[in-house]
């Protein structure tokens, strides 16, 4: 055993403890798609809720939206995706493998030599990442429709609806979480880059000229979010897009990167999209998308947009990698010397409190069940009565349960229970009546060790 965090360890734990499974595994798996198991969906829901609360509850000027995945195909012409949302691809004529040209070492690409088998490569072609399908009863091309490659466009096309229905004044934001689809060629690294994934995007509409100020503001806000999420801040850094990297819509762009086991990679983008999107939608739809500024003599203009765009499933991978630790806790010379622990922020942990009777007999199981019943309304709980207590603690450590409550013979006599803390493994006795308040206070005061 060693304490390094590798992708193999993460993938193996994720499967073993029901976080993430390969899609259609019994058929050999489906590349680019993954299924979230019982622990995984809890974690995903909690990350989503954490983000949603941050964006909507804690920012008075942001409201939510859930737009459809299927949109009018003209949306993707206006957005520039039909023309520009492409990867440069090369194929090997010999081994038939396909590569993103920007990921083939330069000297190999110049010689048109396959990085895998040395065979001859084709010329570089543009490959559009959007999934196409067909809507309606006839399949003759007239029903062409795309699976959205980002959630942002659903927000842009609704900006007038929301400004009108909710009487929003600039600056204001719209937040959305939902599925997006991209026909990605390179889908290794587990759930980092997949063909089906989820995004958490917020689009902030501002008066032209105030965009740079709000761009700075949102960079600060997004950095502070990760501090609240309780991840290791020395594993995060900013990357500013150079002139060659800027997307067609962007005036300025920064990524927050995280140091994953496979290196520093993009986690989320904060982009100044200028007035590109709404100008284009105005052109393509023929509808007036100007904002009427009643506070400034009914001046009309197209708002600028600051976007914060994060991958939910990618953030889940980050949270898993960040929380993962193989820790040496004893020196007996056997496998029990080590424990695998996920140090999630308690607000994210799939199970908050596990209730464990020391023994099944003598009424301890019934008492433990009864205590669990008390806690269930307020916390995600688990109950486990199988096997040695030490083993049961380890099982909870592996899914990141921050609090274990152990019910023993003393509990029957004086009504106290033991609270065992995941991170420090410290144990304290607490009266049953104070248990819920104690856990609530511990969650609020949580600091990553």
Stretch that binds ligand ATP, among 46-54, 193-201, 283-291, 294-302 (CB under 6 A): 193-201
Query: Which residues, 6+ apart, have CB-to-CB distance to 396 below 8 Å?
Result: 351, 354, 382, 384, 404, 422
Closer to ligand ATP by Cβ: residue 314 or 343: 314
Check residue 322 for interaction with ligand ATP (CB under 6 A): no
Contact present, 303 and 330 (Cβ < 8 Å): no
Residues shown for the chain: 449
Q: How far is CA 382 from CA 75, 349, 437, in A?
A: 46, 12, 18
- Judged by CB under 6 A, the residue of 266, 293, 423, 442 near ligand ATP is 266
Residue written as token pair 């307020």? 378
**Residue found under tokens 């203009």:** 301
Among 2-10, 106-114, 260-268, 440-448, the segment contacting ligand ATP (CB under 6 A): 260-268
Q: How far is the CB of 101 from ligand ATP (least distance, A)?
A: 14
Contact (Cβ atoms closer than 8 angstroms) between residue 400 and residue 350: yes
Of these, 113, 184, 257, 374, which contacts ligand ATP (CB under 6 A)?
Answer: 184
- By the rule CB under 6 A, 309 interacts with ligand ATP: yes
d(CA 105, CA 138): 45
Residues in CB range of 221: below 8 A, 6 or more apart = 308
Positive or negative, the Cα torsion across 85, 112, 185, 51?
negative
Interface stretch with ligand ATP, choices 229-237, 280-288, 309-317, 412-420 (CB under 6 A): 309-317
| Nearest CB to ligand ATP, comparing residues 270 and 371 | 270
273 interacts with ligand ATP by CB under 6 A: no
Candidates 91, 268, 384, 397: give the one binding ligand ATP (CB under 6 A). 268
In 186-312, DSSP assigns E strands to 196-206, 236-240, 252-260, 263-272, 291-293, 299-301, 304-311
- List the one residue from 199, 274, 308, 406 that touches ligand ATP (CB under 6 A): 199
- Piece of the chain touching ligand ATP by CB under 6 A; list 73-81, 192-200, 222-230, 296-304: 192-200
Per-residue contact string for residues 140-159; x = within reach of ligand ATP by CB under 6 A: ----------x---------
400 binds ligand ATP (CB under 6 A): no
Residue 256 Cβ, how far from ligand ATP at the closest point, in Å?
Answer: 8
Burial 302-335 (b: 16+ CB within 10 A, else e): bbbbbbbbbbbbbbbbbbbbbbbeeeeeeeeeee
Q: How far is CA 42 from the centre of its chain?
A: 12
Nearer to ligand ATP, 61 or 245 (CB): 245
Q: Which of 34, 197, 324, 344 binds ligand ATP (CB under 6 A)?
A: 197
Per rule CB under 6 A, count of chain residues that contact ligand ATP: 16
Q: Which residues bind ligand ATP (CB under 6 A)?
A: 150, 182, 184, 193-194, 197, 199, 266-269, 309-311, 313-314
């Amino acid at each position: 055993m060693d304490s390094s965090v590798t992708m193999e360890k993460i993938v193996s734990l994720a499967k073993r403890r029901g976080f993430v499974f390969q899609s259609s595994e019994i058929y050999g798996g489906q590349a680019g798609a993954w299924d979230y198991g019982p622990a995984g969906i809890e974690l995903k829901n909690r990350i989503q809720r954490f983000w949603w609360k941050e964006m909507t509850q804690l920012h008075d000027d942001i409201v939510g939206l859930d737009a459809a995945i299927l949109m009018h195909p003209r949306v993707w012409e206006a957005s520039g995706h039909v023309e520009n949302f492409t990867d440069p691809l090369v194929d090997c004529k010999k081994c038939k493998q396909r590569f993103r040209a920007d990921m083939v070492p330069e000297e190999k690409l110049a010689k048109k030599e396959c990085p895998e088998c040395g065979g001859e490569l084709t010329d570089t072609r543009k490959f559009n990442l959007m999934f196409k399908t067909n809507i309606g009863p006839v399949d003759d091309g007239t029903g062409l429709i795309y699976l959205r490659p980002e959630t942002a466009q659903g927000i842009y096309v609704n900006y007038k609806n929301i400004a009108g229905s909710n009487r929003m004044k600039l600056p204001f934001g719209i937040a959305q979480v939902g599925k997006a689809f991209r026909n990605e060629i390179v889908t290794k690294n587990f759930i980092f880059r997949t063909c089906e994934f989820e995004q958490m995007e917020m689009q902030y509409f501002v008066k032209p000229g105030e965009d740079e100020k709000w761009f700075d503001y949102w960079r600060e806000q997004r950095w502070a979010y990760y501090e609240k999420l309780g991840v290791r801040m020395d594993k995060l850094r900013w990357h500013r897009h150079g002139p060659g990297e800027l997307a067609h819509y962007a005036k300025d762009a920064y990524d927050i990167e995280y140091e994953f086991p496979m290196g520093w990679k993009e986690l989320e983008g904060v982009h100044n999209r200028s007035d590109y999107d709404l100008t284009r939608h105005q052109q393509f739809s023929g509808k007036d998308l100007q904002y009427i500024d009643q506070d400034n003599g009914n001046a009309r203009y197209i708002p600028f947009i600051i976007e914060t765009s994060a991958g939910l499933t990618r953030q889940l991978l980050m949270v898993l990698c960040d929380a993962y630790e193989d820790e040496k806790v004893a020196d007996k010379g056997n496998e029990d010397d080590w424990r695998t622990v996920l140090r999630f922020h308690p607000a994210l942990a799939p199970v908050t409190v596990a209730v464990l009777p020391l023994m099944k007999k003598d009424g301890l199981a019934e008492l433990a069940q009864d205590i669990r019943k008390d806690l269930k309304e307020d916390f995600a709980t688990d109950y486990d009565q199988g096997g040695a207590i030490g083993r049961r603690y380890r099982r909870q450590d592996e899914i990141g349960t921050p609090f274990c409550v152990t019910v023993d013979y003393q509990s029957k006599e004086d009504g106290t229970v033991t609270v065992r803390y995941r991170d420090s493994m410290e144990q304290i006795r607490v009266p049953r009546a104070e248990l819920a308040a104690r856990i609530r206070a511990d969650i609020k005061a949580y600091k990553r060790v």
